[in-house]
Amino acid sequence: MRIGDALLDLARAHGRRSVFVVGTGKNAGKTVAMRAMADAAVARGLRLGITSIGRDGEAVDASDALAKPRLFLRPGTILATARRLLPSHPASELLDFTPWNTAAGPVAFMRVRQAAHYELAGPSTAGGVRACVRRFAEFGCDQIIVDGALDRVAALAGGEDAVVVAAGAATARTIEEAVADVRALAARLGVPRFEQGAPYVRVDGALTAAHASRLVSAREERQVVVRDPTQIALSGKALLGVVSQLRLRCERPLHVVAATIASIGADRYFEPREFARAVASATGLPTFDVYAGEMASAA
């Protein structure tokens, strides 16, 4: 099957034009998933806008010196990246500078004129990322892809984006651990819309571990409503515990549409089909192995 097309179809359902790929950790396979979608978008003739929250697309990971997939982008693609990462060759069409600062200088928009490898380091603040998505739309992009970051999900707030969650062998020691992580991430980002008319208690601001613990202790049975899933400041086992004991709901749900897996880590392998099936079963999401070209669904 064509994974990029399948992911893109899910991302573009209901007229959505932007998709964020959020991983459970570093090297979870986000860039590979993003590249598959980017290739599919270009093959369909869509005008693509692409960026990353923080740095991505480098040949070597800046923090752990491991080789990383690079982004080979085709002419017409618009990207937002730090000014110091703009390649000298081939020359690109510079569209605009922005005030969003990164470690590699302020972010600039550019249009690819000749196919080449590019590094991405987009805005690192939630406000900057949202503004960046708006600018892509102003530049006429039909499809926007953002390489997200687990600690920057605040950037999803206030958007109508699709979300793809990515799990990889590099992020956990065992399949069980990796599955638990992605299940928690999907549960957090996939908190459903609150039910009108049913009793509820609204949480102003972030739902912290301490606040959630008090609600659990008080055996709160009403819906616990946050503004949007990014306001849930819990992850991993703590989040799964809270989800099982509280009726967590939100006013503005996100649209988690798929999961991807990468069964190859720097120093470990997971059995790909078992991993994909387990992720699909735990998250209830269609789960894609971009490397194997296969998909698993929840039974």
Partner 1 sequence: MNFGALLDATTAGALDVAWLANQLEPLSEPGRRANERIQPFRPHQEREAQAHADAIARTAKKLGAAEVHAMRDVLRTMPDPLPAIARAAMGEALEDANLLELLRFMDAAVRLQPHVPLDPQAREVLQILEPGRAGKFGFYLSEKFDAALSSARAAADRAQAEFDASRGRLAQRVAADLRRDEIPGSEFIVMRDTIDLLPRGVRVVREAPTYFLCELDLDEAALESLRRRDAAAQAVATAEESVRARVSQALRERAKALEALVELVGELDVHLAHVRFTQQYRCAPAHIVSEPVLRFSNARYLPLEAELEAQGRPYEPVSVDLSGAVVLTGPNMGGKSVALRTCGSIAVLAAFGIPVPAETAGCALFDDVAWLGIGAQEELGGLLSSFAREVVRLNELLARPAAVGLLLVDEFARTTTPHEGKALLVALIRVLQRRGRLAFIATHLDGIAADARVRHFAVRGLKNVPKGAPAGDLQAALAALADSMDYAVYEVTDGGVRQADAVALAHLLGLDDDIVAEAADVLRSERTTS
Q: Which residues bind partner 1 (CB under 8 A)?
A: 1-4, 32, 35-36, 39, 69, 83, 86, 88-97, 108, 111, 113-116, 263-264, 269, 271-273, 289-293
Of 10 and 232, nearer to partner 1 (C-beta) is 10
Phi then psi for 26, rounded to 5 degrees?
-70, 150
Rounded to a whole number of angstroms, the minimum distance from the CB of residue 114 to partner 1 is 6
Of 117 and 202, nearer to partner 1 (C-beta) is 117
Rounded to a whole number of angstroms, the minimum distance from the CB of residue 111 to partner 1 is 8
Rounded to a whole number of angstroms, the minimum distance from the CB of residue 223 to partner 1 is 41
Q: How far is CA 85 from the centre of its chain?
A: 22
Place of tokens 């080979």: 72
Rounded to a whole number of angstroms, the minimum distance from the CB of residue 207 to partner 1 is 37
Cβ contacts of 80 within 8 Å, gap of 6 or more = 49, 50, 51, 98, 107, 108, 109, 120, 122, 123, 132, 135, 136
CA distance 156 to 234: 16
Of 58 and 289, nearer to partner 1 (C-beta) is 289
Rounded to a whole number of angstroms, the minimum distance from the CB of residue 54 to partner 1 is 21
The phi-psi region of residue 197 (left if phi > 0; otherwise alpha if psi is between -120 and 50; otherwise beta) is left
Rounded to a whole number of angstroms, the minimum distance from the CB of residue 116 to partner 1 is 8
Rounded to a whole number of angstroms, the minimum distance from the CB of residue 82 to partner 1 is 11
Of 39 and 58, nearer to partner 1 (C-beta) is 39
Q: What is the DSSP letter of 291?
A: T
Of 128 and 272, nearer to partner 1 (C-beta) is 272
Asked if residue 171 lies in contact with residue 160, where contact means CB atoms within 8 angstroms, the answer is no
3-state secondary structure of 184: helix
Could you tell me where the DSSP H helices lie in the chain?
A: 3-12, 30-43, 126-138, 175-189, 209-217, 236-245, 272-283
Of 142 and 220, nearer to partner 1 (C-beta) is 142
Of 19 and 224, nearer to partner 1 (C-beta) is 19
Neighbours of 26 (CB within 10 A): 16
